[in-house]
Amino acid sequence: MEFFCPPKPGLLQVWGALSMCEGESTMAQSKGTVVLAYSGGLDTSCILVWLKEQGYDVVAYLANIGQKEDFEVARKKALALGAKKVYIEDVSREFVEKFIWPAVQANALYEDRYLLGTALARPCIAHKLVEIAQREGAQHVAHGATGKGNDQVRFELSCYALCPKIKVVAPWRLPEFYQRFPGRRELMDYAKKHGIPVPVTPQTPWSMDENLMHISYEAGILENPKNQAPPGLYTKTCDPAKSPDTPDVLEIKFERGVPVKVTNIGDGATRSSALELFVYLNDIAGKHGVGRIDIVENRFVGMKSRGIYETPAGTILHHVHLDIEAFTMDREVRKIKQGLSLKFSELVYNGFWHSPECEFVRECIGRSQEPVLGTVRLSVFKGQVYILGRESPRSLYNEELVSMNVQGDYEPADATGFININSLRLKEYHRLQSKVTVKQDE
């Protein structure tokens, strides 16, 4: 954690501030301290200044969750805009160990395709947001999530679960804010008026949100679901068609359903700490163009949205964990676990990470992972993950029992009774259907 206080103002700065206050009678009375989830971008920079206008003392909190960001520049920017303090918290390791690993254990997928990169990051960020608010004695927290998306729900449900008395300021849901700033042009004008630095290069015609697990692209020209992702959009993965012509062959070792070691068979490179392992898999998968999806999903608030995602390491781990789990887990236990995984994915997507039901589901899934131990060999090549083999001391696979060449401890004749019993229900159903059809024809 890094903690910063702004330097004491010089005499001219004090005089200027006093003059400004005398000239602006509309400045609101003090409302106490608010901790703002700050990104350093245009929106939260404008929100920081606007919160000060409303009478708040603003503490800025910037989470380092694996995104590409110049944190020193963001720190200086927040202080220059009037933040009382700036916290920069590196939560990358916590994100992997406490949020990504449970999702890997769960084989979490929302609506069969989305690996939940953003949804997993929000409760991790919110946890520190509330922690800082409590440390500062702040009664308020604030965020820059829009009023149409999922993130407002994820942030606020987490905050209320962790600190029921906290008050949330959500500017994009306040009429006095969104009516004043109906579009990006108004935000830019406000920024120029208040000395907020604005990008000098043209903005990409879509919005992006990045963390260690993934990057998402939405809005702008992507709102038309017919539009193909333009060249140059993807940043975490290369074009699979231009990826290396030689695959990377890896071995990933699991304990209790969690990856504990990766080995590159080609060059012998190994990684075993959670963060280093995940970063390494991001690099390998990104190099081979693994992890791209373009989907339309159902937001919790009730509308459909189009999102493009890159989840390199997450895609590798999803395929590999599925394989080692099927190899080591009892069939009927796995059926129950699959239902829990579906519920887990829905709860995480909708913002209920810190709910009692999600805690219960995570505990159940964690219990199911005790036998998920072993190593999977895989190839990463041209946008795909290919499973090559697996081994485990907890395997339920019996080579002799399943062999077509060895009878083993199995009597083929027993299958006749098994088939007869299972066909009884089908025979009775179709016998009845035949009677119904005859009566309808009469």
Catalytic residue numbers read: 43, 122, 151, 207
Largest CA distance in the chain: 102
> 258-264 and 292-298 as β-strands: parallel, antiparallel, unpaired?
unpaired
> 215-218 and 304-310 as β-strands: parallel, antiparallel, unpaired?
antiparallel
Q: In which residue are the tokens 């998402």 written? A: 216
CA 235 to chain centre: 17
- Which residues are CB-neighbours of 13 under 8 A, at least 6 positions away? none
Looking at this protein, which amino acid is placed at residue 379?
S
Task: Assign 378 to helix, strand or coil.
Answer: strand
Contact 71, 88 (CB under 8 A): yes
Measured between alpha carbons, how far apart are the two ends of the chain, in Å? 81
CA 89 to chain centre: 18
Task: Assign 439 to helix, strand or coil.
Answer: helix
* Alpha carbons 142 and 129: distance in angstroms, whole number: 9
Looking at this protein, which amino acid is placed at residue 295?
I
* Alpha carbons 284 and 303: distance in angstroms, whole number: 35
Helices (H), 307-409: 312-328, 331-350, 356-368, 399-402
Residue 1 tokens read as 């954690």
Q: Identify any residues that bridge with 60 across adjacent strands, giving them in sequence order.
A: 36, 86
* Alpha carbons 147 and 169: distance in angstroms, whole number: 12
* Alpha carbons 126 and 5: distance in angstroms, whole number: 22
Distances (CA, A) of 407 to 17, 355, 397, 404: 89, 51, 15, 7
Q: In which residue are the tokens 């400004």 written? A: 20
Contact 82, 60 (CB under 8 A): no
Looking at this protein, which amino acid is placed at residue 8?
K
Looking at this protein, which amino acid is placed at residue 360?
F
- What is the DSSP-derived secondary structure letter of residue 223? G
- What is the DSSP-derived secondary structure letter of residue 110? B
